[in-house]
Structure 1
Amino acid sequence: MDRCPGQYCGRTLFDNGSWSDCGACERGYRVNESFVCSPCRDELNTYSWLYLGFMAMLPLMLHCFFIDLNAKDRKFSRKQLILTACAFIEVTLSAILSILLMEPMWEFRLHSCGVRKFTDWYTLFYNPSPNYETRLHCTQEAVYPL
């Protein structure tokens, strides 16, 4: 099998046994050393879970900010309490359902590709241009699901 250009371009194996052209891997897959798209099977570490928790808390903080901003009086009213409770329920349910609906389905765990290099965060800047003619778009989530 020929080498694919760029760091993040790979080939996918089809059901009939043939290989695809070089391109971006599917969601949840990453290029290995032989330029084949392989599934991500690493477990998330504690830092990654904390990062996802922080990203899930941002909408709740924004909800609370705008609930407080729209309050007519400066006292904490029953209406504000109900809106804050609804925002908390909405954010919590969406975070839990997002985890449960990703692979592996209906399990409270996630598979990750992990970070190997600093460039994994910025794959957009590493799309190759074979023969300096056209750009081959291999942008993907190299650090899936982060």
Structure 2
Amino acid sequence: MLSTERAYRDALARFPTGVALVTRTEDGQGRAMTINSFASVSLSPRLVLWSLARDSLRYGAFLAAEHYAINVLAGDQAGLSAACALDDDMDAAGARWTPGAHGAPLVEGAIARFECTRVAVHPGGDHMIILGEVTAFDAPRAAPALVFHQSGYSQAG
């Protein structure tokens, strides 16, 4: 059995995951973080989770966000995902967005968008697991989802 951290990461990369942007605002500016750790937890109440790396440069700001949105990206939004992985400034990344009910940016072109209020944070090894209640959602675009698999982008379907 393999035991190195790199071998573990490579084994995990064999599981394709969807790609999303977690977004928040700071002084009226849209901020984003690319994630692939998004999951549904409960239908009633509507709860979702995502994981935030403790060593992320954006850790403090995103951990403190009481309101945020999770924007599920379409297959043609790989460039936006890559840009937001490097820099949280949504305008610099070329994102078009509108503020949701609590100000969290809703990305134009996303295939699903979930406005959330943070309800709990749980430690999970080198990550924090952030649990949010979905306060509003939509699915504004019918398109294949952006997928991350074996360290590269593709699209579902």
Sort the TM-score into its range (normalised by shorter chain).
Answer: under 0.3
* TM superposition score normalised by structure 2: 0.22
* TM superposition score normalised by structure 1: 0.23
Question: Highest CA radius of gyration, 1 or 2?
Answer: 1
More strand by share: 2
More helix by share: 1
